[in-house]
Amino acid sequence: MHLFDYETLRLIWWALLGILLIGFALTDGFDLGVAALLPFVARTDGERRMTINTIAPTWEGNQVWFILGGGAIFAAWPYVYAISFSGFYLAMFLVLAALILRPVGFKYRSKRPGRAWRAGWDWALFVGGFVPALVFGVAVGNVLQGAPFRIDSDMRASYEGGLLGLFTPFTLLCGLLSVAMLVLHGSAWLAMKVERGAVQDRARVYGTGAAIASIVLFALGGLFVARGGMGFELTSAVDPSGPSNPLRSTSVASGGAWLGNYAAHPWMLVAPVLGFVGAALALVGIRGKSEPAAFAGSTLSAAGIIATVGLSMFPFILPSSIDAHSSLTVWNASSSESTLFLMVIVTVVLLPIVLAYTAWAYRVMFGRVSEREIAASHDFY
């Protein structure tokens, strides 16, 4: 009936899910990183304004990757949208509260001159950068571990365990990796975007630490997954074009299963290798004062780390740790064939347009930001 069959459409949307998450991490990721670094890399008001204005004109567009991520998961993976956001209810509201501080922080900080006023917004922006970075990582860690939910015969989901249950040594490690990855990306952006001087020097110091931390934490995460017996396996016959009904498939926890895909498909090793090589490249770029190389490195590293998670788990998207018939996979959690097809068409038409005008917006704002320029114009925050 369509250009693609149902199985292919599901694979396309699984890939698009990854692309959207990577798009979010690569664009809004450096905004989060810069915000988390703000109180540390910039000390005077002039330095802080300069730091903020490296991202002020473009961060809002970047944030749309997050909103689009939510909308696209809703449209293409309604089970995942329904179960993950309600299961992680308090964590989700924590992230939202932190993210809400960003638009107001950017805009309102410059509206009044008081030191306390501005310092208050600087810390609000720090929270708006650090907390989401941490919680996103913790959430990914929980997805890798499997979440404690079950689905009844009406497809209503229920959960065991609260907010604190989300924090285990492994998930905290994932949270820290996420912070390191985004702080690295943020410092690489900052080093590229501010004038040479104190702020850039400090960004390079934090960037160095973040690059090393990324490599160490990513390696530790791999070790946890390999030794900690993490992973799930499908144990029933699967029809990749069957109706989206989790109750009709069965899965079991199976130690080390998350590494199985790499044995079966060695090309997938590209992702973790990129995660390491990218961070190493970023480190070299930062130390060698080659800012574009550093930014390219942090970009590759973040893309590699996120792709590693997706590829390790395939075909699982959100495994249940307590019920064999509730795990969500590429084959049982998607929208209908018609919806997936329509959304592929919409994406193919609109996404290139979005990328084109986003690139144009960056071109208009191209160039390093300096304290003098900010002091001379009405437009900066």
Partner 1 sequence: MDIGVVDLSRLQFALTALYHFLFVPLTLGMSFMLVIMEAIYVMTGRAIWREITRFWGKIFGINFVLGVATGLTMEFEFGTNWSYFSHYVGDIFGAPLAIEGLMAFFLEATFVGLMFFGWDRLSRLGHLAVTFMVAVGTNISALWILIANGWMQNPVGSAFNPDTMRMEVTDFGAVLFNPVAQAKFVHTVSAGYVVASLVVLGVSSFYLLRGKWTAVARRSFVVAAAFGLASSLSVVVLGDESGYTLTDNQKMKLAAIEAEWHTEAAPAGITLFGLPDTSTRTTRYAVKVPWVLGLIATRSVDKEVTGMSELVLKAQERIESGVIAYRALDVLKRNPTDRTARTVFEAHRNNLGYALLLKAHIADPGKASPALIASTAWDVVPSVPVMFWTFRIMAGIGFLMIALFATAFLLASLRLHMTARWFQRFALWAIPLPWIAIELGWVTAELGRQPWAIDGVLPTFLANSTLTPAMLWTTIIGFTALYGTLAVIEVRLILATIAHGPVEDPLETAPQPTDTPALARAA
Q: Which of residues 108-137 bind partner 1 (CB under 8 A)?
A: 108, 110-113
Task: Examine residue 262 and tell whether it contacts partner 1 (CB under 8 A).
Answer: no
For residue 22, the SS3 value is: helix
Torsion of CA 200, 202, 204, 207, to 10 degrees: -130
Q: Which of 84-92, 169-177, 256-264, 308-316 is the region at the interface with partner 1 (rule: CB under 8 A)?
A: 84-92
Helix orientation angle between 6-41 and 337-364, rounded to the nearest 10 degrees: 30
Contact by Cβ (8 Å): 293, 281:
yes
Q: Residues 27-59, buried b or exposed e (16+ Cβ, 10 A)?
A: bbbbbbbbbbbbeebbeebebbbbbbbbbbbbb
Contact by Cβ (8 Å): 286, 294:
yes
Task: Examine residue 357 and tell whether it contacts partner 1 (CB under 8 A).
Answer: yes
Closest CA to 332 of 7, 2, 70: 7
Task: Examine residue 223 and tell whether it contacts partner 1 (CB under 8 A).
Answer: no
Task: Examine residue 376 and tell whether it contacts partner 1 (CB under 8 A).
Answer: yes
Integer Cα distance of 357 and 378 in angstroms = 25
Contact by Cβ (8 Å): 65, 336:
no
Integer Cα distance of 14 and 317 in angstroms = 9
Binds partner 1 by CB under 8 A, chosen from 5, 70, 265, 288: 70
Backbone angles phi, psi at 234, to 5 degrees: -75, 135
Q: Which of 90-98, 169-177, 227-235, 272-280 is the region at the interface with partner 1 (rule: CB under 8 A)?
A: 90-98
Q: CB of 127: closest distance to partner 1 in angstroms? A: 12
For residue 213, the SS3 value is: helix
Q: Residues 197-208, buried b or exposed e (16+ Cβ, 10 A)?
A: eebbebbbebbb
Integer Cα distance of 106 and 102 in angstroms = 6
Binds partner 1 by CB under 8 A, chosen from 8, 250, 290, 358: 358
Task: CB nearer to partner 1: give 75 or 281.
Answer: 75
From first CA to last CA, the distance across the chain in angstroms is 53
Q: CB of 204: closest distance to partner 1 in angstroms? A: 26
Task: CB nearer to partner 1: give 151 or 215.
Answer: 151
Binds partner 1 by CB under 8 A, chosen from 254, 365, 368, 370: 365
Task: Examine residue 75 and tell whether it contacts partner 1 (CB under 8 A).
Answer: yes
Binds partner 1 by CB under 8 A, chosen from 9, 26, 76, 181: 76
* Binding residues for partner 1 restricted to 135-164, rule: CB under 8 A: 153-159, 162
Q: Which helix (H) or strand (E) holds 304?
A: helix 291-313
- Tokens describing residue 195: 């004038």
* Binding residues for partner 1 restricted to 264-283, rule: CB under 8 A: none
* Binding residues for partner 1 restricted to 325-344, rule: CB under 8 A: 335-336, 338-339, 342-343
Task: Examine residue 348 and tell whether it contacts partner 1 (CB under 8 A).
Answer: no
Contact by Cβ (8 Å): 53, 380:
yes
Q: Applying CB under 8 A, what is the total number of residues that bind partner 1?
A: 77
Q: CB of 112: closest distance to partner 1 in angstroms? A: 7
Task: Examine residue 203 and tell whether it contacts partner 1 (CB under 8 A).
Answer: no
Q: Which of 33-41, 198-206, 266-274, 351-359 is the region at the interface with partner 1 (rule: CB under 8 A)?
A: 351-359
Q: CB of 255: closest distance to partner 1 in angstroms? A: 29
Task: Examine residue 370 and tell whether it contacts partner 1 (CB under 8 A).
Answer: no
Q: How many other C-beta atoms are found inside a 10 Å radius of the C-beta of residue 3?
A: 9
- Give the per-residue contact string, 228-257, with partner 1 (x = CB under 8 A; - = no): ---------------xxx------------
Binds partner 1 by CB under 8 A, chosen from 71, 222, 228, 256: 71
Task: CB nearer to partner 1: give 120 or 222.
Answer: 120
* Binding residues for partner 1 restricted to 4-63, rule: CB under 8 A: 56-61, 63
